[in-house]
Amino acid sequence: MKRKRKYESGAATAFITRNQALRKLQLSLKDFRQLCILKGIYPQEPKKLKQATKGSGITRTFYFVKDINYLSHEPLIVKFRQTKRFMKRLTKAVHKKNDDAVARIKASRPKYKLDHIVKERYPSFIDAVRDLDDCLTMCFLFATLPTSFSVKNRSVQLCRRLTVEFQHFVITSQALRKVFISIKGIYYQAEIMGQTITWIVPHKVGYQQPSDIDFKIMRTFVDFYTTLLGFTNFRLYHSLNLHYPPQLQLAGEKDETETKCLKSEATEERLAAMTQTLKSMVTDNVEDAEVDEFPVGNPDDPDFIEKAKLESEKLNQFQNLFKGKKFFLNREIPRESVTFIIRSFGGEVSWDKSLAVGASYQESDESITHQIVDRPAVEKQFLSRYYIQPQWIFDCVNSQMLIPVEDYFPGVELPPHLSPFVKEKEGDYVPAERKQQIRRQQGIDSGVEEDDGLMDEDDDDEDEDEEEEAVEEEDDDEEDEEEEEEEEDDSDENSDDEEEETPKMSKKAVKKPVKTPKPAKKPKDMAVTPGSVEKVNLNRKVQQQEKEEKRLAEMMIPKKKKRLYQTIVKSQTRRDTKIQQLKEKRKVINRRNKLAKAGGE
C-alpha cells in the first residue's frame, strides 16, 4: 500500500494561489483579472488554511484548482495572446511612424465575443434574469458617463441603447413595482419572470469622476454586462412578441422634417423618449386569458383560488394605476425617470416640443389631467388639471394607489418620501406617514380625494398620541430596570404609578401638584407627618419579579451559549435604542410642530 504523505491530497491540492495560477495559465495579471471577471471566477477561502498553504500559514489569495483548469480551456485566452501580439506590432509601427503599417495593423485587431460565456455562466434564462441587478445598474451608469479615454464612446452608446430597450420592455410588460428617490439615485424595482430586480439610476447631474478608479475593471464588467443585457433583452422582447431591435408603433407617421439630425439618430431619440408604444409582431392584441379554475388548490385553504383571483385583480389595478391620466412634464422635471414610471403604469406623457423629441401633445391640450411642476409657483394655470410636484408620482406607485394631490401642490412643503423597501417587523419603528400609508391601502382612510386635509392631520395626531403612550410605557419599563439595578427609589416609583393610573389627558395637570409640594416637604424640626398609603401596583410587581427571575436565570446560561446569547441581546438592545431614539425625536418634532401651529393661529 502506498504510504500517505502530507499535503498530497485534500485542501493542499484543491487550492492554488493566484501567482501559481498566473504561471499555470501563462497570463499577465491584467489578463487574468479580465478573464476572472468575464468568467465569473472569484477567489476561495480554504477552510483549512494550514492545509492549503502547505503548513506555512501565510494567507494568500486562493483559487480552486478546478476553476483554474476550467479557465485554461477558455478560447478567450488565445484571443488575449493575439491582442498582446497585436499591441506589440501596433506600438512598433507607431513608433516607427509607419502610417501605412499602423492602418493595416489596426484593421486586424483581434475581436472576441462573449456569447458563449453568457451561456456558460447562465445556462438557463432565469439565472440570467436573477443576476440582472448589477448589470442594469452598471449599464445605466455607463449610459450617462461622458466619453473619455477610459470610457469609450461605443460602450456608452451601447449601454444607452440597451437600457432604453430594457425600459421599453418594463413599460410594455408593466413589470415595475417600486420606485424610490434616494440621495444616491433613483431606485427601481421590477418583477420579471417572478424575479425581483432592483437597479439604481444616478441623478442626471454632473459627475465628479474619481481619479483613483481603475476604469479598466469597470470596462471589463460593462463588456460582459452589455452582452448579457443584449441577449436578455432579445429574449424578453420575444417573450412579449415584440420586434427586436424595437420598433415604434407609429414609426414613419411623424414628420421627420422637423428633426435636424440623422434619421437613425432620430429614431433612436424617439425610442429613448419612451412616449410611444412598441410595435408588436402579433397584430391582434389578445387579452390575457382568464385564469382557469382548478379544483386542486390548497386543501388547507379553501379560499385559495379566491385569494389568488383577488391578488391578480389587485395587481392588475396597480399596473394600470395611471391609465387614462394624461401628464405634462415641465422642463425642470427629470424627464426620463418620470416618463418611465408613468408609462409603466399606463399613463400618457408629453412635454414641451422644444425640449426634446417625442412630445406627443402640447401644454395647451385640455385633456391633460396632471401637470408635473417642480418650481415654487406656476404663472399660467389651467383649471382643468392638477399641478403637482414629481414626488406624487413616486408616492402613488409606492402606496399602489392614487393618493390625494393636496400635499403635492407646487410650493407646498412635501410630505416625507418613504422607502418602499422597508419591511416592518414587529417592534420596529414605523414612521407616522408609513402608518397613514398602510391605513390608506387598507381602505380605512379611503377618501381618495379628501377635501379636508386637516382631518387627516388630526387623525395623525391621535395616532401619534397613541404612539406616545406606547413610548411612555416602554419608558417606564426601562426605568424599572434601572431601579432594580441600582436602588429602588420609592418616590419616583410613586409618581410613576400615578402617572400610569391617571388618564392620559390630565397627565400634565397631575404632574404639577406632585411637583409643587416638594419644597414644603422639608420641615426643619423633627415631626411626625401623616404618611400616605403606599400604592402597590400588582401588575408592576409581577413584572419586576419576572424580570429579576429572568436575570437570575441568565446567570445560569452555560458558558458555551453565553456569548451567543450576549450578542443576540446586544443587537436587540442596539436596535431597541435606535427605535427609541427615533421615537423620541419624533415626539420632540411633533411637539414643536404643534407649538408652531398654535403660534401661527
Partner 1 sequence: MATVAAKRKISPVEEIDINEGVNLFVDEPPDSEDDDDTTDSDSSEYSGLEDEPDTDDDDGDEDDEEDDDDDEDAENDEDEEDEDEDESDVEDSAEETSSHSKPTNQEIVTAEPDDKEGKITQLPDEYEYDSSDEEDIRNTVGNIPMEWYRDYSHLGYDVEGKKLLKPEKGDELDEFLDKMENPDYWRTVSNKLTGQKVLLSKEDVKIIQNMQKFKNPVGSDMYEPWIDFFTNEKMIHPVSNRPETKASFIPSRWEMLKVSQMVHALKMGWMKPTPTRKPDEEDETNFYMLWKDDEEPEITRQYRQYIPPPKVRLPGHAESYNPPEEYLPSEKTVQRLKKEIARGKTRTIPQKFSSLRLVPGFKYFIRERFERCLDLYLCPRQRKVRMNVNPDDLIPKLPKPRDLQPFPTTEYLVFKGHKGIIRTISPDPKGQWIASGCDDKTVKIWEVATGRCIKTFNVESKVKGVAWNPNPSLSIIVVAVETSLIIINPHVGDKLICSKTDLLLNSFEEVELPPAPTDKPKVTEWELYEDAEYELGFRLKIKHQREISQVTWHGKGDYFASTMPKGESKSVLIHQLMKRRSQNPFSKPKGLVQCVLFHPIRPFLFVATQKYVRIYNLMKQSLSKKLLSNCQWISSMAVHPGGDNVIIGSYDSKLSWFDLDLSTKPYHTLRHHTMALRSVTYHKRYPLFASASDDLSVIVCHGMVYSDLLQNPLIVPVKVLRGHKAAKGLGVLDCQFHPSQPWIFTAGADGTIRLYT
Amino acid 276 reads Q
Q: What's the min distance (Å) between Cβ of 8 and partner 1?
A: 20
Enumerate residues 334-363 that contact partner 1 by CB under 8 A.
334
With 0-12 / 13-18 / 19 or more C-beta atoms within 10 angstroms meaning exposed / middle / buried, residue 75 is exposed
Reading the block at residue 86, the C-alpha cell is: 497585436
- Told to check if 133 binds partner 1 by CB under 8 A, we report yes
Q: Whole-angstrom Cα distance, residue 422 to residue 440?
A: 17
Q: Whole-angstrom Cα distance, residue 347 to residue 339?
A: 9
Among residues 24, 54, 235, 254, which is the contact residue for partner 1, using CB under 8 A? 235
Among residues 60, 79, 130, 254, which is the contact residue for partner 1, using CB under 8 A? 130
- Told to check if 545 binds partner 1 by CB under 8 A, we report yes
Nearer to partner 1, 59 or 312 (CB): 59
Q: Whole-angstrom Cα distance, residue 541 to residue 484?
A: 11
Instruction: Count the site residues for partner 1 by CB under 8 A.
Output: 110
User: What size, in residues, is the chain?
Assistant: 601
SS (H, E, C) 54-119: CCCCCCCCEEEHHHHHHHHCCHHHHHHHHHHHHHHHHHHHHHHCCHHHHHHHHHCCCCCCCHHHHH
Q: What's the min distance (Å) between Cβ of 485 and partner 1?
A: 9
Residue 18 backbone dihedrals phi, psi, to 5 degrees: -65, -40
Enumerate residues 135-154 that contact partner 1 by CB under 8 A.
137-138, 141, 154
Reading the block at residue 149, the C-alpha cell is: 479615454
How many CA atoms are closer than 13 Å to the CA of 485, on its beta-carbon side?
A: 7
Q: Whole-angstrom Cα distance, residue 178 to residue 170?
A: 12
Binding mask 155-174 for partner 1 (x = CB under 8 A): ---x----------------
In the three-class reduction of DSSP (H, G, I as helix; E, B as strand; rest coil), residue 427 is classed as coil
What is the phi-psi region of residue 185: left when phi exceeds 0, alpha when psi lies from -120 to 50, beta otherwise? left
- Told to check if 378 binds partner 1 by CB under 8 A, we report no
Among residues 589, 591, 594, 597, which is the contact residue for partner 1, using CB under 8 A? 589
- Told to check if 182 binds partner 1 by CB under 8 A, we report yes
Among residues 64, 86, 304, 409, which is the contact residue for partner 1, using CB under 8 A? 64
Among residues 1, 107, 282, 520, which is the contact residue for partner 1, using CB under 8 A? 107
**Region from 23-31, 377-385, 425-433, 443-451 binding partner 1, contact rule CB under 8 A:** 425-433
Q: At what angle do helices 335-344 and 391-399 cross, to 10 degrees?
A: 30
Q: What's the min distance (Å) between Cβ of 274 and partner 1?
A: 19
Q: What's the min distance (Å) between Cβ of 415 and partner 1?
A: 8
Among residues 52, 74, 166, 185, which is the contact residue for partner 1, using CB under 8 A? 185
Reading the block at residue 275, the C-alpha cell is: 412616449
Binding mask 450-489 for partner 1 (x = CB under 8 A): -------------------------------------x--
Q: Whole-angstrom Cα distance, residue 25 to residue 294?
A: 57
**Region from 65-73, 277-285, 457-465, 499-507 binding partner 1, contact rule CB under 8 A:** 65-73
Binding mask 268-307 for partner 1 (x = CB under 8 A): ----------------------------------------
Binding mask 482-501 for partner 1 (x = CB under 8 A): -----x--------------
Among residues 15, 80, 166, 180, which is the contact residue for partner 1, using CB under 8 A? 180
- Told to check if 550 binds partner 1 by CB under 8 A, we report yes
Sign of CA dihedral 485, 489, 492, 493: positive
Distance between first and last Cα of the chain:
98
Among residues 20, 277, 280, 391, which is the contact residue for partner 1, using CB under 8 A? 391
Across the beta sheet with 370-372, what order do the strands follow? 348-351, 326-329, 370-372, 386-388
Nearer to partner 1, 22 or 181 (CB): 181
Q: What's the min distance (Å) between Cβ of 311 and partner 1?
A: 23
Among residues 13, 19, 26, 45, which is the contact residue for partner 1, using CB under 8 A? 45
Q: For cell 399641478, what's the residue?
A: 387
Q: Whole-angstrom Cα distance, residue 449 to residue 445?
A: 11
- Told to check if 181 binds partner 1 by CB under 8 A, we report yes
- Told to check if 575 binds partner 1 by CB under 8 A, we report no
The set of residues, in sequence order, having a beta carbon less than 8 Å from that of 312 and lying 6+ positions away, is: 291
Enumerate residues 9-38 that contact partner 1 by CB under 8 A.
33, 36-37
Q: What's the min distance (Å) between Cβ of 62 and partner 1?
A: 8
- Told to check if 202 binds partner 1 by CB under 8 A, we report yes
Nearer to partner 1, 504 or 585 (CB): 585
The set of residues, in sequence order, having a beta carbon less than 8 Å from that of 239 and lying 6+ positions away, is: none
Q: For cell 477567489, what's the residue?
A: 43
Binding mask 498-527 for partner 1 (x = CB under 8 A): ------------------------------
Among residues 25, 52, 128, 273, which is the contact residue for partner 1, using CB under 8 A? 128
Enumerate residues 241-270 that contact partner 1 by CB under 8 A.
244
Among residues 418, 436, 437, 440, which is the contact residue for partner 1, using CB under 8 A? 418
* Strand pairing class (62-64; 15-17): antiparallel
